[in-house]
Amino acid sequence: MPIRRGMRTAIAAASTAVVVLGLAACSGPGGGTKTAAAGGEQITAPITAEQVAKLGKVNLSVWADQGEQQFMQDFVPAFEKKYPNVTVKIQFKSFNDLTATVLNAMNSNNAPDVAQGNQGWATDGALVKAGLVRPLDDLATAYGYQQVAGEAISQLKWSKDGKQFGTGSIYGLSPDNQMVGLFYNKEKLQKLGLSVPKTLPELEAAMAAAKAGGEVPLELGNSDKGSAMQSLSIIQGALTPAKDTRSWITGVDGTSFDNASNAKALDTFAGWVKDGYVSAGYDGTSPDDAAAAFSKGSGVFFVGGNWYAGTITDGAKYGFTAGLEDGKYATNGSFGLDWHVSSQTKSELAALAFVGMVNSADAAPMLAKVNRVPIHTVDAGSNAMFGELLKASSDQLSGAGPLFWYDWATDTMFDTFTSGLQSVLAGQMSSQDFLQKVQADWTKFHTK
């Protein structure tokens, strides 16, 4: 199952595992380097086995989220076959453990050569600000990553001092796209005489028709407090330009979440709750339970991340689309946890080869095999649901792009946003009061 990050439901904690894998032999495509201004290697093409062989025997230390284990089971042997002088030693950590300890680990005398971070101020911003990770602009160009990532690559960019997010150099690479979208029950839509809604007015009309037809229009579980935020993004992304939301999340001076279109989005969502479009008891239901209920036939729609396709698997009965066409498919979303190269590594070419290959087209089929959605093109084969996920990802990346995640905006925004949204949906707070509260949090953080 894909990694669930940030305000998404984190994968349950597990004990740290160390994996040492090794296979023998074969070389890669031609590559080249030149001396970098900072004294390291500047990559100009994919790194060859011959280049890495000059390092001698290498034990490459890697820290990764435990959600990478399935992918790494295929990837590490393939990497070690291509670079036979390298043995990869991975420590898998729970998401919470990884993000809580990676900064200190990368600042230690025994720093891993490669480590995953997490986009946003708390982890990646801190790593960049401390000078602990190497810029990867050259790697992104050499491996064709920038072209496929498109404008969404801004989530991986920082100023050198770590004070500006969304602009500057690329400091991490991530191979997969995690996005919120609209799951729908094909059979129920057909029974109700409805087509898949493509715009917000069409979605609202479908909700009303579902309610009139005796169905639960939207299945929701918000005990994690983050799922309502994701559901809001379907509406908010259709009403507010995605670039404006991304600018606010990344801290661009003068931006604000307090505007008329966001007020309309909040009022629309609260109206859905008031009109009985949302499943009863949603604040006491987990998102996993809501997804399971939807997969068993409850509800016409379910808003959730593409990772829920591990639960909602039947592509003949269910479909998945990105956001709505009137927002050019903008919803909450980002790439998965990004991969960094330590600025202290003594095996720079091997570390760069690892991150480059993880984020290359060659690794995309390995991601697809474990039902993760690569940003590189892959064939879905006979898996109908996975085909829907791939199309949705393509639509979003070629459309307005992901909104990112609202809680990236500040280090306290998750609590501010989710508690306020719960109050709005319960009719205990006005949309205007909510927006002022959210913007006050943003102003305090970015002034500080």
Q: Can you give the pLDDT at residue 283?
A: 97
User: For the chain, what is the mean pLDDT?
Assistant: 91
408, burial (CB in 10 Å: exposed 0-12, middle 13-18, buried 19+): buried
Task: Tell me, yes or no, whether 141 and 289 share the same domain.
Answer: no
pLDDT bin (cut points 50, 70, 90) of residue 122 is confident
**Has residue 317 been placed in a domain?**
yes
- The pLDDT tens digits for 376-429 are 999 998 999 999 999 999 999 999 999 999 999 998 999 999 999 999 999 999
**Has residue 433 been placed in a domain?**
yes
Task: Tell me, yes or no, whether 314 and 350 share the same domain.
Answer: no
**Does the structure show a pLDDT above 80 at 35?**
no
Q: Out of 325, 352, 378, pick the residue that ends a domain.
A: 378
Cα 332 to Cα 334: distance, rounded to the nearest angstrom: 7
Task: Tell me, yes or no, whether 148 and 266 share the same domain.
Answer: no
pLDDT bin (cut points 50, 70, 90) of residue 328 is very high
Task: Tell me, yes or no, whether 249 and 351 share the same domain.
Answer: no
- Segment 434-445 mean pLDDT: 97
Q: Can you give the pLDDT at residue 29?
A: 32
Task: Tell me, yes or no, whether 285 and 416 share the same domain.
Answer: yes
Q: Say if CB 99 and CB 132 are below 8 A apart.
A: no
**Does the structure show a pLDDT above 50 at 22?**
no
**Has residue 407 been placed in a domain?**
yes
- Segment 155-159 mean pLDDT: 97
Q: Can you give the pLDDT at residue 5?
A: 43
Cα 403 to Cα 181: distance, rounded to the nearest angstrom: 12
pLDDT bin (cut points 50, 70, 90) of residue 250 is very high
CA dihedral sign of residues 343, 366, 144, 170: negative
Task: Tell me, yes or no, whether 70 and 206 share the same domain.
Answer: no
Cα 154 to Cα 133: distance, rounded to the nearest angstrom: 17
Find the farthest-apart pair of alpha carbons in the chain and give their distance in angstroms, rounded: 70
- The domain that holds 393 is classified in CATH as 3.40.190.10
More confident residue, 121 or 256: 256
Cα 335 to Cα 406: distance, rounded to the nearest angstrom: 14
Cα 417 to Cα 185: distance, rounded to the nearest angstrom: 30
- The pLDDT tens digits for 8-17 are 333 222 233 3
Question: In the chain, how many domains are there?
Answer: 2
Q: List CB contacts of 340: < 8 A, sequence separation 6 or more.
A: 106, 114, 115, 116, 117, 124, 127, 133, 134, 136, 171, 172, 355
**Has residue 296 been placed in a domain?**
yes
Task: Tell me, yes or no, whether 57 and 77 share the same domain.
Answer: yes
Amino acid symbol at 136: L
**Has residue 2 been placed in a domain?**
no
Q: Can you give the pLDDT at residue 143?
A: 95
Q: Can you give the pLDDT at residue 23?
A: 32
Domain that holds residue 276: 179-334+387-447
**Has residue 4 been placed in a domain?**
no
Q: Out of 324, 354, 378, pick the residue that ends a domain.
A: 378
Task: Tell me, yes or no, whether 118 and 186 share the same domain.
Answer: no
Cα 223 to Cα 219: distance, rounded to the nearest angstrom: 13
**Does the structure show a pLDDT above 90 at 6?**
no
**Has residue 216 been placed in a domain?**
yes
**Closest of 47, 50, 49 to residue 82, by C-alpha:** 49
Task: Tell me, yes or no, whether 93 and 169 share the same domain.
Answer: yes
C-alpha pair distances (Å), 94 with each of 74, 104, 117, 176: 20, 16, 12, 19
Task: Tell me, yes or no, whether 86 and 51 share the same domain.
Answer: yes
Task: Tell me, yes or no, whether 162 and 197 share the same domain.
Answer: no
Task: Tell me, yes or no, whether 294 and 246 share the same domain.
Answer: yes
**Has residue 207 been placed in a domain?**
yes
Residue with tokens 């453990």: 97
Phi then psi dihedrals of residue 351, to 5 deg: -65, -45
